[in-house]
Amino acid sequence: AAAAIYAGALLTNEKVTQTAVGDVADISVVTIRNRYRDLIEIEGETQAP
């Protein structure tokens, strides 16, 4: 969920850091970063022709 919040913030041009999201969600920035990459990878696969 934290990675989705971080991704949504980026998509809406909100200035938020992985650290800020991690602090609120009580999760590490490494986990956010890895799950964010997973989300981006999945999104790329669903848009491929």
The domain segmentation of the chain, as residue ranges, is 1-46
Among 23, 24, 6, residue whose Cα is nearest residue 15: 6
Q: The pTM is what?
A: 0.81
What is the H or E stretch that residue 10 is in? helix 2-11
Tens-digit pLDDT string for the chain (49 aa): 999 999 999 999 999 999 999 999 999 999 999 999 999 888 887 775 6
Alpha carbon of 43 to those of 18, 24, 46: distances in Å? 20, 25, 5
